[in-house]
Structure 1
Amino acid sequence: MEILLQPWPWYVSGPLIALVMFLLLMMGKRFGMSSNLETMCAICGAGKKSDYFNFDWRANRWNLLVILGAAFGGFIGAHFLSESEAVAISSETVESLENLGFESAGEAYLPERLFSLGALTEPGSLFLLLMGGLLIGFGARYAGGCTSGHAISGLSNLQLPSLIAVVGFFIGGLVMVHLIFPLIF
């Protein structure tokens, strides 16, 4: 039980990811979270309004289990397999985040300032969450997939567009954290 309460090292989790990718490749499937959004839109009838969503969504329903697995796995990991809520980040990062107004820095994975129920009643926090969701959704569609799809599936298939997308994701993340994040907060 003790091994489940600790983060797994790369030499365990990496080969497990590689095994899943191998199995998906052998079955002719592609991994990615944003493709589930297309499937859900097709299920809801968006194909009547746009030809883009007019496809047989039943062929992709296996991938909807990925979302359920991620949600349930995250819940189980957070509530039953974590000994503490503390996040292992450097003291300099904690101090930097506290200076920006994130009092729970280093104590929890999701900052209460943005992810508490009270934050949903604040117009500023709600606006940031909605804009972030829209930008992530647009970016995932514009890039032809999300970070998990490109970084795990695309790079496993040695696709140059996925390499370019992953480099772009990292650059965008660095720009956000070092330039835009301090301006917002």
Structure 2
Amino acid sequence: MFNLYLCNISHFTVRNLSSTLQQKLETMEIIMQPWPWYVGGPIVGFIMLILMYLGKSFGFSSNFRTLCSALGAGESCEFFRFDWKTQRWNLLFLVGAIAGGYVASHWLSDNQVPQIAQTTIEQLHAEGFASAGSSYYPAEIFDHLSPKNIVLLVIGGLLIGFGTRYAGGCTSGHAISGLSNLQWPSLVAVVGFFIGGLIMVHLIFPLIF
């Protein structure tokens, strides 16, 4: 009788554990799948509401200025002369974004390359980018650091670093934070982002590659 009792308890426990494990696996499956815009969008908006409530402005590229100030650039340049410690929360956000991306790519996803339009893949293949559609980044640039590629990467980095600070923000600072505060300069900047992208794709890109 006692053995039967233990057997029933064991069966009940195993069944509950199996059910719990199945539920956790289903939850993990939801987390590991790409989130649609109607899920990710409201989450970003909710984060903005929290930052606005705390009196903070969301912007990723501002960490460039913060890091330069923390390293002593304020001693020789007025632009970097401010209390960078007030932006420690943003530096923490930067670290969290990097760590979160690493965790998500290694343990919370199957690491599939995002799908892009077949027409785009064919156009990139015609331009000599055979890795298009099968790689996260153009391997022809980053895996083969020829003098030309190094020059392009350095110039691109300088333009991004200078441009985001000269414009007062990047896509996150203007498109997310600025537009949510109905800032006219942010609207102008966002329109400029799109115009610059079109010019790059249709005019400059064919000349470079």
Q: What TM-score does the superposition give when structure 2 sets the normalisation length?
A: 0.83
In 2, distance between residues paired with 1:123 and 1:67? 31
| Structure 2 counterparts to residues 102-121 of structure 1, below 5 A | 102-116=129-143, 119-120=144-145
1:135 to 137, 159, 164: 159
Q: What percentage of residue pairs aligned between the two structures are identical? A: 59
Give the AA of the match of 1:163. Answer: L
Q: What TM-score does the superposition give when structure 1 sets the normalisation length?
A: 0.93
1:59-108: CA deviations, max 9, x gaps? 10110112212212222232223324333111111111111111110011
Q: Which residue of 1 aligns with 2:115?
A: 88
Q: Which residue of 1 aligns with 2:30?
A: 3
In 1, distance between residues paired with 2:140 and 2:100? 24
Give the AA of the match of 1:150. Answer: H
Q: Could you say what the CA RMSD is over the residues aligned between the two structures, in angstroms?
A: 1.3
1:150 touches 1:165 (CA, 8 Å); kept in 2?
Answer: yes
How big is the shift at 1:163? Answer: 0.6
Aligned length: 182
Gaps of 5+ in 2: 1-27
1:147 touches 1:166 (CA, 8 Å); kept in 2?
Answer: yes
Q: Hey, which bits of structure 1, 4+ residues long, moved more than 3 A?
A: none
| Structure 2 counterparts to residues 21-40 of structure 1, below 5 A | 21-40=48-67
Distance 1:84 1:37, change over 3 A: closer
Distance 1:68 1:91, change over 3 A: same
Q: Which residue of 1 aligns with 2:99?
A: 72
SS at match of 1:88: coil
In 1, distance between residues paired with 2:125 and 2:96? 33
Give the AA of the match of 1:168. Answer: G
1:86 touches 1:108 (CA, 8 Å); kept in 2?
Answer: yes
2:82 to 32, 55, 68: 55
Gaps of 5+ in 1: none
In 1, distance between residues paired with 2:86 and 2:111? 40
Structure 2 residue 181 is matched with structure 1 residue 157? yes
Structure 2 residue 47 is matched with structure 1 residue 20? yes
SS at match of 2:89: helix
Q: Which residue of 2 aligns with 1:179?
A: 203
Q: Which residue of 1 aligns with 2:22?
A: none
